[in-house]
Amino acid sequence: MNLLIPTIMILLTGSALFSCSEAALFSAPVNKVKELEEKGKFGARSLLKIKENMRPSITVLVVFTNIFNVAGSTLVGMITTETLGSAKVGAVSAILTFLVIVFAEIIPKSIGDVFSIPIGLRIAKPVLLMTRILKPFVWLIELITSPFPKKKRQITEGEIKTLSRLGYLEGVIEKDERDMINRVFMLNDLKAKDIMTPRIVISALESETELSEIEKEIYEMSHSRIPVYEESLDNIIGICHLRDLLKNIGQDKKDKKIKDLINSEVITVSEDVKIDRLIPLFQNKRCHLAVVRDEFGGTSGVVTLEDVLEQIIGEVVDEFDKEVDLREKAKRLNSEKN
């Protein structure tokens, strides 16, 4: 009896230690570990090495956990037989099984999961050292298990949406943050034709027109960038800025033609281009507006950087917008014509 209780305590302590360590290593977020490594936090570099290739370290921890569970249970059985007799082995085994499940598995793994970072930082160096010492044994285990396929875990779009919804329900993220995450995943589902300003409501200027002819119209414009066309909207040759038009009017250069004030080249996209491809296009070309062409090469509409951003953050309306949604206005005009 003098040996039985200490043996059980050693068994539970050893098994709990390795179970807790395993849970902590699994639960420690990689991004958080990288952040701590950049700050020079003690143990972060070792923990990051483990996270980058967890298989050897987890193998070592699992092996030691099972050594304590199996060898310890066998030793407890032998001591019980010698001290209490074989009739008591069954009862002691049942009690030991309960203790192992609760105090060597459930509770330690819960602690490791909750305190993954502080525990991970403290055990990372010893675990790496153990892994190096037992490298031949780890290599043998991996050789034996190598025929079995290893599927790389990938997080799906649906899982991220589910996590954002759960985060909102638990109060971790705000409603607008959840909505923004969901909208981001819609970017590759929408096309330019779905968000563009249709041709029928485009505000554009004819290239040969002089400022004096449209001075009043310029004062009433609400868009900062205006397409410039020759003869028809199917031949947009550039983009001028409202600021430049007003500047020349203010300097009494009203005889200037619109084509002389073009300051941006025309960027064209097809109706079917996915809007997630428009963002890098606008960034690379350093522009805010693109002309949308239909299948015949004609102008179908225009799409702006603001149109794309509105798909993520929601409708953006300022105090000068007379129409909240020009696409709705275009539908209304088409229905009135019909």
Tell me what pLDDT residue 265 has: 85
Regarding whether 245 and 126 lie in a shared domain, the answer is no
Regarding whether 174 and 91 lie in a shared domain, the answer is no
Which of 145, 174, 206 lies at the terminal end of a domain, its last residue?
Answer: 145
Regarding whether 299 and 208 lie in a shared domain, the answer is yes
Give the β-pairing of 268-270 and 289-293: parallel
- The two structure tokens encoding residue 193: 């034709």
Tell me what pLDDT residue 109 has: 92
* Residue type for position 134: L
In degrees rounded to 5, what are phi and psi of residue 229? Answer: -125, 160
Question: Within 13 Å of residue 96, how many CA atoms lie on the same side as its CB?
Answer: 28
Q: How would you write the pLDDT of the chain (338 residues) with one tens digit per residue?
A: 568 888 889 989 999 999 999 999 999 988 889 989 999 899 999 999 999 888 899 989 998 998 898 888 888 888 888 887 888 788 888 888 899 899 999 999 999 999 999 999 999 999 999 999 988 888 888 788 777 666 566 677 788 888 888 888 888 888 888 888 888 888 888 899 999 989 888 889 999 999 999 998 998 888 888 999 998 999 999 999 999 999 999 999 999 999 999 988 889 999 999 998 998 999 898 888 999 999 888 999 999 988 888 888 877 665 555 555 555 655 665 565 55
- The two structure tokens encoding residue 92: 């002691």
Regarding whether 108 and 208 lie in a shared domain, the answer is no
For 179, the domain range is 154-185
Regarding whether 181 and 200 lie in a shared domain, the answer is no
Tell me what pLDDT residue 332 has: 62
pTM above 0.75, yes or no: no
Regarding whether 18 and 138 lie in a shared domain, the answer is yes
Regarding whether 297 and 234 lie in a shared domain, the answer is yes
Dihedral over Cα of 180, 186, 191, 195: its sign = negative
Regarding whether 140 and 225 lie in a shared domain, the answer is no
Regarding whether 279 and 330 lie in a shared domain, the answer is yes
Regarding whether 220 and 116 lie in a shared domain, the answer is no
Regarding whether 90 and 53 lie in a shared domain, the answer is yes
Domain tally, the chain: 3
Distance between CA 75 and CA 64 in Å, rounded? 16
Regarding whether 106 and 20 lie in a shared domain, the answer is yes
Q: Supply the CATH number for residue 210's domain.
A: 3.10.580.10
